[in-house]
Amino acid sequence: MAESVVAAAEKVPVPEASEDFPFPERPRLLEGVRAYGLIMAMWVRSTMAYRASFAMTLFGDFAVTAFDFATILLMFTHVDALGGYTLPEIALLYGLSATAFGLCDLLLGSMDRVGRRVRDGTLDTLLVRPVPVLAQVAADRFALRRLGRITQGLLVLGYALVSLDIAWTPLKVLMLPMMVVSGAAIFGAIFVAGAAFQFVAQDASEVQNSFTYGGTTLLQYPPTIFAKDLVRGVTFVVPLAFVSWLPALYVLDREYPVDLPEWVAFLPPLVAVACWALAGLAWRTGLRAYRSTGS
Amino acid sequence: MRLYAVVAGGAFRRYATYRTATAAGVFTNTVFGFIVAYTYIALWDARPQLGGYDTSQALTYVWLGQALLMACAMMGGGFEDELTERIRTGDIAVDLYRPVDLQLWWLAGDLGRAAFHLLGRGVVPMFLGALAFDLALPGSLWTWPAFFVSVFLGVVVSFALRYLVAMSAFWLMDGAGAMRIVSLAGLFFSGMLLPLNLFPGLLGEVARMLPWSSLLQVPADVFLGKHAGWGLVEAYAFQGGWAVVLLLAGRLLQTAATRRVVVQGG
């Protein structure tokens, strides 16, 4: 999905194999995915060179996110409800947001290194390779340890689904995987847009963290506890609410604090596509504006 | 002594160079401050006076956390990446025959870094937080210097912890894993996620006695006027005691490690 939007806009003629040009070129999307896979495999192998360290970082990623949920558990040792939501309800919001973000973080979590590459000039190396730059940047330093985050999100999600008393309908069941995939895609678009921003502001990668790590933290709590303007901001400006809040509140039969019709709960896939179109545009603009530092 | 002052000044200037990064960091600290502040409001709405704090004290705690996060390096992030890298590549051998004390050298640099982060990434989020929320700022002028002494001790404890872990790179070669586990312990046990006063039972008692509580919980309580008179002396003694113990442990480990160093000839 990631590259499809980007690649669709670009119709590169595909040369056939001939005597002058012995390597048949694949379509760019396929090329990108293949390159991503190869680079990813390389980083996985390099990570496995230090197995003890890998085990510790994997555990670390699991535990650091587990502490987020532990914080919520500790809060619930003092209260029965937070913002009118019970622990299992918050666990559902938490599990969905953490899993979607974890998936995105695994696939694209290294995108925030673009700024550093622009600064030290190593981006130039990526530009001369006959492989889509986005695929190279996305797979750069692929960190398998981030599976820890997904595992933790899925565990909390499992706990929520077991302890919640939901009147399940086929639609509600289908919404769970839809939320995780669309949510990951929305977060992914933010990662790509943030990386594009780094072509302009080279050492401002932390701004991106506000929307990605900050976004997932925000979504782990119910919308009722935040100021109305903040909720409007993450619905209409940076559409984080579509990652989990809107669809999850439909599953929970809860009303959304900012008056919106019920059908918006089904919009996440469309929002994800729109976000990727914008992010793809931003990425191409950023890449085109790039001038090497020459160092 | 003069040498270490120069090292500290250099580290301050080094971090001060990255203005865009600092602005981006301030933005991030502010965003997180807002998110956490709203969760605390919801919590204190349900249970006023939780942990002995009223709502505005709890909100002050949130913004102090954001202001001190980088200065006290609660999640790590400072000299330790560089030091473990030097150990891994063997450059540490060059450092060892320099006529300076290795531990003091890195401590001086870390103090310079912390001073910059306190100014660069502490003041603005705290100010913005005070604009948006009703914070409990100190009533007495004396609270400010008392607070800064506590922050200084917190930074030294934080340094000592990270130095200890960096030394483990002599044995593990790749220090990333150990560093990560320590950084997440720092996040949880410093009270960054939730004040340690709210931790229940034995967990709370243990958490408050661990060195990490020197990084945020103790300075925040000094700021909120929870430690006064002898209480303040006790708080300093707690932080200072951990600082001394951990610095000595780091020194012991350093001595053991340097015996292990094998310098490969060219």
pLDDT in tens, A141-186: 888 888 988 999 999 999 999 999 999 999 999 999 999 999 999 9
Percent of chain A with pLDDT over 90: 56
Tell whether the model's pLDDT for residue B80 goes beyond 70.
yes
**pLDDT tens per residue across span B15-25:** 999 888 899 99
Residues of chain A with C-beta less than 8 angstroms from the C-beta of B21? 203-206
Contact across the interface for B25 and A206, Cβ inside 8 Å: yes
CA–CA gap between residue A89 and residue A20 (Å, rounded) = 63
CB within 8 Å of chain A, chain B residues 154-183: 172-174, 176-178, 180-181, 183
**DSSP string spanning A32-48?**
HHHHHHHHHHHHHHHHT
* Span A71-76, average pLDDT: 96
Contact across the interface for A52 and B172, Cβ inside 8 Å: yes
Answer with the residue of higher pLDDT: B112 or A17: B112
Residue B174: per-residue pLDDT: 67
Contact across the interface for B21 and A210, Cβ inside 8 Å: no
CA–CA gap between residue A211 and residue A214 (Å, rounded) = 5
CA–CA gap between residue A75 and residue A63 (Å, rounded) = 18
Nearest residue on chain A to B182, alpha-carbon basis: A60
Give me A148's structure tokens: 């820890």
Contact across the interface for A210 and B31, Cβ inside 8 Å: yes
Residues of chain B with C-beta less than 8 angstroms from the C-beta of A226? 35, 38
Residue A25: per-residue pLDDT: 63
Residues of chain A with C-beta less than 8 angstroms from the C-beta of B39? 75, 82, 221, 225
Residue B188 touches partner A, C-beta closer than 8 Å: yes
Q: Which range, of A16-20, B228-232, B241-245, averages the lowest pLDDT?
A: A16-20
Residues of chain B with C-beta less than 8 angstroms from the C-beta of A67? 184, 187-188, 193
Q: Which residue reads 């030091």 in tokens?
A: B83
Contact across the interface for B180 and A50, Cβ inside 8 Å: no
Nearest residue on chain B to A78, alpha-carbon basis: B47
Contact across the interface for A204 and B200, Cβ inside 8 Å: no
Which of A74, A79, A205 has its CB closest to that of B46?
A: A79
- The rounded mean pLDDT for chain A is 87
H helices within chain A, ranges in order?
A: 2-8, 28-47, 51-75, 87-108, 114-120, 123-128, 133-139, 147-163, 170-200, 205-219, 228-232, 245-251, 268-289
ipTM: 0.87
CA–CA gap between residue A51 and residue A42 (Å, rounded) = 15
**pLDDT tens per residue across span A267-283:** 999 999 999 999 999 99
Residue B50 touches partner A, C-beta closer than 8 Å: yes
CB within 8 Å of chain A, chain B residues 2-21: 18, 20-21
Tell whether the model's pLDDT for residue A9 goes beyond 60.
no
Tell whether the model's pLDDT for residue A5 goes beyond 50.
no
pTM: 0.88
Contact partners, residue B160, CB within 8 Å, separation at least 6: B211, B242, B243, B246, B247, B249, B250
Q: What are phi and psi of B164, to 5 degrees?
A: -60, -45
User: How many CB atoms are closer than 10 A to CB B34?
Assistant: 23
**DSSP string spanning B26-47?**
HHHHHHHHHHHHHHHHHHHHHS
Q: What are phi and psi of A206, to 5 degrees?
A: -70, -25
Answer with the residue of higher pLDDT: B78 or B210: B210
Contact across the interface for B43 and A78, Cβ inside 8 Å: yes
3-state secondary structure of B91: coil
- The rounded mean pLDDT for chain B is 91
Residue B52 touches partner A, C-beta closer than 8 Å: no
Under a CB-based contact definition with an 8 Å cutoff, are residues B67 and B121 in contact?
Answer: yes
Tell whether the model's pLDDT for residue A254 goes beyond 70.
yes
